[in-house]
A and B are shown apart, each in its own frame.
Chain A
Amino acid sequence: MDAADVEAIIEESLPNAAATVTTPRDPDDDSHYAVEVVSPAFEDKSLVDQHQLVHDALGEHLTRDIHAIELRTETPE
């Protein structure tokens, strides 16, 4: 699983989401990702609920294939 796979998983499960996934520690690090997601699905939701949508999208991958994500969620301007 690499950064592009993580992007694809998120964009597939969240409506109109644009995900940007980078590896902040080391380009070959395949278990720590920085994830930015912009989606209208986050509107009127608390930060916890916004993060929950992304966590749900990643499902079992998180904590198993992926050690951790640094997550930022935003709504489109």
Chain B
Amino acid sequence: MRISFISILFILFSQSVYSAAKIEHWQTSLGSSVFFVQTKGLPMVDIRVVFDAGSARDEYQYGVASLTSALLDTGAGEWSADDIAQRFESVGAQFGAGVSRDMAWLSLRSLTEEKLLNKALNTMQVILTSPSFNEADFQREKNRTLAGLKHREESPGALAGMEFYKVLYKGHPYAHPASGVIETVSGFSVEDLRTFYQQYYVAKNAKVVIVGDLNKQQAMNIAQSLLSDLQLGEKAESLPEVNLTKKGLNKHIKFPSTQTHVFAGLVGMHRKDEDYMNLYVGNHILGGSGLVSQLFAEVREKRGLAYSAYSYFSPLLRKGPFTMGLQTRNDQTTQAVKVMQNTLKDFVAKGPTEQDLIAAKKNITGGFAMRFDTNSKLTSYVSMIGFYQLPLDYLDTFQKRVEAVTVESIKDAFSRRVRPEMINTITVGGA
């Protein structure tokens, strides 16, 4: 009764270089881009429809993208929220919708058994193309969102994160939290959501990702029928560039917690940044590699100052933030922040050692296959490649680009892009 799954996903070229997923790409009749990867072995499929409709499109209605997304499965076509939920769950399908700063997405995971998949797809298609935006559903979801926003105020970490973006992105659409703020959300009307939907949930602004045990013809049919009833619309306008601040700020918010949460950083890089690989590999050494990073060693292993200490770049359509973070007992906040600052200063001034870099490269390339060893992870990667219009061989060339990084190129990139005097430090806690 044993079936050995034969992988067509990964073809072995040599000991450590894998051909990553083969991404097939085409457009629907309305011009939406489709990205497809066939995976065999499990009778399931993951589908994502992605729009350039994240919170960066909120304008002054902070949270409107998020609430629009939340309304989608609460009523569509002739169906109520209950009908929709029952249709998906009766066939074991999992539906989701959400937004980030850059994108809005609808996701579906289903078995590929035809009758089950068709029912799920049919439901998703109606949600995509004819959401109802009923007043009653809107009021309820708005109230639930407001409760969520209130709940957020219990968390010093969440408050620090929000303040961090506010300071870095003053005046830019990335400045506000994707879920919005109480002041704006409480003023929304259902019409605001409908308008947002009509402008951004359109064929020209959509991309489809399909990963699973289907053939190309099936994938083509699915993408075509999912989006065929969407309005053609217009592609979203390009987002404004981020203005870099001149000098870093320190800001403290008092909060009755036993720990102080620290977020420190600056405006970093975008998805297609020319310094991407240097900053990515450099950060891996500085604070991106979990238990072996420099920040982890300095803050936690040597001094026991925090449970977690890390740094990362969040590359977006425009320059996303470079963030360093930790949480520590209130009375040792100054010490912990200093350790963090010094670790960064040292790194920027001296760069990594040759040994550090070799270890980082070994870690990144040696673990490369683990970046997309499940359909879930692969779906995320392909969505990123599709949405940010990265080359289709992005994964294939990834290791080569990692290998090309040198100590000097990291040092050069960090000294230009992560200048310690530009770091903004936000602290929230009882310190």
Question: Are A and B part of the same complex?
Answer: no
Interface residues of A (CB under 8 A from B): none
Interface residues of B, Cβ cutoff 8 Å to A: none
